[in-house]
Structure 1
Amino acid sequence: MPMSEEAKALRRVYQREYRRTHPEQLKRQRECTRQWQRQHPEKCREYQRRYWERKAAQENK
């Protein structure tokens, strides 16, 4: 079940505040993600390919 617009708005406010107050945590997450991407380039390419195939299929509907 999709989130209501009110729930989406509250989530955006919470996440914005979290990012503002926890920059060190976000820096660690970004570095971990970059490291994983460097170690798994073939998976990254496959995930991107699937994403864009899905987007193209949505456009064609």
Structure 2
Amino acid sequence: MSAKINAVVDEAGLPNRLSISPGQASDKAAAPALIDSLTCSSHVVADHTAYTWDANV
């Protein structure tokens, strides 16, 4: 059994919001709950490595 910690951080890298999900779950499933209630940001910067993958590399 494993788990993932998903986080929303501020511009200094300090966590504002955390979510724990099963290790086998997609990160895409956790993202909406983390960013839906953000009120002060018009830009979201995300780690895209979980979503882009080239089998030929």
TM-score calculated relative to the size of structure 2: 0.25
Instruction: Kindly indicate which of the two structures has a greater share of residues assigned to helix.
Output: 1
Give the structure with higher Rg (CA): 1
Higher relative contact order (CA 8 A, sep 6+): 2
TM-score calculated relative to the size of structure 1: 0.24
